[in-house]
Amino acid sequence: MAKSMTGYGRADSNDSAHKFTVEINTVNNRFLEFQIRLPKSLGQLENEIKTLLGGYFNRGKIMVSITLDQESNDNTISLDESKAEAYLKIYNLLQTKFGLAGDLNLRDFVALPDLIKLEKQEEDLAVIWQKLKNVIEKAAAAVVGMRQTEGANLVTDMKQRLDLILNLTSEIEKLTGENVKQYQTRLHSRIQELLLDSPVDEQRIALEVAILAEKSDISEECIRLKSHLDQFRESIQEPEAVGRKLNFILQELNREANTIGSKSSVYDIAKRVIQVKEEIERLREQVQNIE
């Protein structure tokens, strides 16, 4: 079943150490495009995220927001002993060589630059990815569910429009004979006017009129239009992405409608052709949101 390209999904992790929140919002787009916002510390995972989501979506603009609320107890405090020894050596040298008075207390000593460091332990990115992956998959599944529901609604609407176009085409078919007859009558009258003062071969005129009138027959166009309607109806039931295919079929539907309109000399046909083209345009608007 055809899916919409519009959807939203959110998921949160239950991990106390890494509290992820993933939000995915999708809108229509000609191609598959990603827009990902995530913490700087997870920047290396962007390609993995795109690959993962590529298994869920074929078309659309996929906007992903990932936040991380991390309870970190992994920071360590360390003393740079070599720097401490160097500072102390310089202090003693200043006292001895220049006769400076004063004591170096602990508070002054620990305030010296780069003596005490707060270091963050590097985490295993592979472990973090496994946790994040599960949250992304939950959010993506929620989006897919919404896109399927919206797609089902679009399919219902499109089926109604296909039925309307089919009925209009059947009505046009019934008027085909009248269209040819009117074309023959007008063409014959016009030839008679042009040859009013010349000898006329009625049999030859009748033959030429019949040949030209045959070109005004719209039966084949109606048959092809109905065939395209069947293809469209079958396509929207297919499980894979069909948006591009539906766009192509709409082009063919519009081509046949235009040909029928150009051949038409009957008002009732022209009126129905306009209605058909209006419904094709509405279908086109709907298809723009089909994956």
CATH of the domain at 61: 3.30.230
Statement to judge: residues 220 and 104 lie in one domain: no
Establish if 245 belongs to a structural domain: yes
Token pair of 215, please? 């070109």
Structure tokens at 179: 């269209």
Same structural domain for residues 160 and 253? yes
Q: How far is CA 200 from the centre of its chain?
A: 64
Secondary structure (DSSP) of 154-168: HHHHHHHHHHHHHHH
Does 206 share its domain with 279?
A: yes
109: containing domain: 75-120
**What confidence score (pLDDT) does residue 224 get?**
95
- Whether the CB-CB separation of 276 and 168 falls below 8 Å is answered with yes
CA 34 to chain centre: 10
Whole-model pTM: value is 0.70
Token pair in block for residue 220: 């084949």
In this predicted structure, what is the pLDDT of residue 81?
Answer: 84
Is residue 2 included in any domain, yes or no?
A: no
Question: How high is the pLDDT of residue 203?
Answer: 65
- Residue 34, in any domain of the structure: yes
Burial class (CB within 10 angstroms; exposed 0-12, middle 13-18, buried 19+) of 18: middle
Predicted local distance difference test score (pLDDT) of residue 17 = 77
Based on the fold, state whether residues 229 and 154 are members of the same structural domain.
yes
Residue 191 sits in the same domain as residue 136: no
- 88 and 35 part of one domain: no
Phi, psi of 124 (to 5 degrees): -75, 110
157 and 63 part of one domain: no
Query: Minimal CA–CA distance to 63: which of 141, 151, 143, 149?
Result: 143
Q: Is residue 20 part of a domain?
A: yes
Of the candidates 62, 256, 239, which has an alpha carbon nearest to the alpha carbon of residue 155? 239
Domain shared by 96 and 66, yes or no: no
CA angle centred on 7, ends 5 and 12, rounded to 5°: 140
Does 176 lie in the same domain as 130?
Answer: no
Print pLDDT tens along the chain (291 aa): 789 999 999 999 987 778 999 999 999 999 999 999 999 889 999 999 999 999 999 999 999 999 998 655 556 777 788 888 888 888 888 788 777 777 778 877 778 888 877 666 566 888 899 999 999 999 999 999 999 999 999 999 999 999 999 999 999 988 877 766 666 666 666 666 656 656 656 665 565 555 555 566 788 899 999 999 999 999 999 988 999 999 999 999 999 999 998 888 788 989 999 999 999 999 999 999 999
Does any domain span residue 1?
Answer: no
Is residue 210 assigned to a domain? Answer: yes
Residue 169 falls within a domain, yes or no? yes
Separation CA 207–CA 188 (nearest Å): 10
Assess whether 98 and 206 both reside in one domain.
no
What is the number of structural domains in the chain? 3
19 and 137 in one domain?
yes
Ranges of H-type helices in 23-175: 46-54, 81-98, 106-110, 125-174
* Residue-level pLDDT at 96: 83
Do residues 19 and 141 both lie within one domain?
Answer: yes
Tell me the backbone φ, ψ of residue 35, rounded to 5 degrees. Answer: -130, 105
